[in-house]
């Protein structure tokens, strides 16, 4: 495989991930182009989070090859701290739980990683933080503490914090699942704008309407494998496998 094709920002080849006694991701191949927005859907336990976490090496594959920007991994390679730093800088991750530092202001939450990881001065970091707060429509919250914010606001701060390291790809793991629907909409609005601005995004989500509207490609996982992928039109409106049809029917029944 040519892992260095400049059109692709993320490439996975034959990736397998095992937990003790459990094969969570099976033979996954996935190439993602710069600027592409991917939605990953599928039932609980399908391996969606494991796959996402593998892309920034929070999980280590047992076989296969992976590249993200300039970062390369295959099982024969021993990773150095510098390799991992390169990967962590290339990816921004947003989790279901917002994971902000509770004892720091919003500004410090977003500025500190820039100072630590990118070596920006406090003034540079705070200037970038102000831009990002503007982008997530929370410019007036710079000096608030996370506990004073709604869940939707905290998640938008978490997005701003991930963007502060200028990642090449943003990874979202069910970013709205912990939120009331109307607060989820605020977060989806920020994500929609990010997609429109050309950010490469991989989004694990149950928000099918959002996936249909924003994703260039929808990937369906079940039992650790990719069982179907294509445009939202193909996959959501006209799925080819019975397993996919079942999954969407179950989701629609719930809504």
Ligand X SMILES: Nc1ncnc2c1ncn2[C@@H]1O[C@H](COP(=O)(O)OP(=O)(O)O)[C@@H](O)[C@H]1O
The residues that touch ligand X, with contacts defined as CB under 6 A, are: 19, 22, 24, 42, 44-50
- The nearer residue to Mg ion, 173 or 228, going by C-beta atoms, is 173
Stretch that binds Mg ion, among 49-57, 114-122, 186-194, 241-249 (CB under 5 A): 49-57
Minimal distance, residue 129 CB to ligand X, in Å: 31
Which is closer to Mg ion, CB of 8 or CB of 98? 98
**Which C-beta is closer to Mg ion: that of 49 or that of 244?**
49
User: Binding partner of residue 45 among Mg ion, ligand X, none, CB under 5 to 8 Å per kind?
Assistant: ligand X
Helix (H, G, I), strand (E, B) or coil at 223: coil
Q: Which of ligand X, Mg ion, none has residue 24 at its interface (CB below 5 to 8 Å by kind)? A: ligand X
Nearer to ligand X, 210 or 247 (CB): 247
Minimum distance from residue 40 beta carbon to Mg ion (Å): 9
Q: Does residue 130 sit in helix, strand or coil?
A: helix
Query: Which structure tokens are listed for 156?
Result: 């938008």
Yes or no: say if 202 and 132 are a contact pair by the CB < 8 Å rule. no
Q: Is 49 in the site for Mg ion (CB under 5 A)?
A: yes
Nearer to Mg ion, 49 or 153 (CB): 49
Residue (of 211, 222, 212) closest to 244 by Cα position: 222
54 makes contact with Mg ion (CB under 5 A):
no
CB atoms within 10 A of CB 80: 9
Residues 6+ apart with CB under 8 A from 61: 15, 16, 17, 25, 54, 73, 75
Distance CA 75, CA 115 (A): 32
- Quick count: other Cβ atoms within 10 Å of Cβ 207? 24
Residues lying near Mg ion in the complex (CB under 5 A) are found at 49
């Amino acid at each position: 495989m040519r892992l260095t094709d400049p059109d692709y920002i993320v490439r996975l080849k034959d990736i397998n991930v095992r937990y003790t006694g459990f094969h969570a991701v099976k033979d996954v191949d996935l190439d993602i182009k710069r600027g592409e927005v991917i939605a990953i859907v599928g039932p609980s336990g399908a391996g969606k989070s494991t796959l996402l976490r593998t892309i920034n090496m929070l999980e280590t594959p047992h076989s296969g090859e992976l590249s993200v920007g300039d970062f390369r991994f295959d099982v024969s390679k021993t990773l150095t701290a510098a390799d991992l730093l390169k990967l962590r800088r290339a990816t921004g991750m947003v989790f279901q739980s917002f994971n902000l530092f509770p004892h720091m202001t919003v500004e410090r939450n977003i500025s500190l990683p820039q100072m630590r990881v990118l070596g920006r001065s406090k003034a540079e970091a705070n200037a970038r933080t102000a831009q990002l707060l503007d982008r997530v429509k929370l410019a007036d919250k710079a000096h608030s503490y996370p506990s004073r914010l709604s869940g939707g606001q905290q998640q938008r701060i978490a997005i701003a914090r991930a963007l502060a390291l200028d990642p090449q790809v943003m990874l979202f793991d069910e970013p709205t699942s912990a939120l009331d629907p109307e607060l989820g909409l605020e977060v989806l609005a920020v994500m929609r704008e990010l997609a429109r601005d050309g950010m490469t995004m991989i989004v694990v989500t149950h928000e099918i309407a959002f996936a249909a509207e924003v994703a260039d490609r929808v990937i369906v996982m079940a039992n650790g494998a990719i069982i179907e992928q294509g445009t939202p039109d193909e996959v959501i409106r006209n799925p080819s496998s019975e397993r996919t049809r079942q999954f969407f029917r179950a989701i629609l029944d719930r809504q």
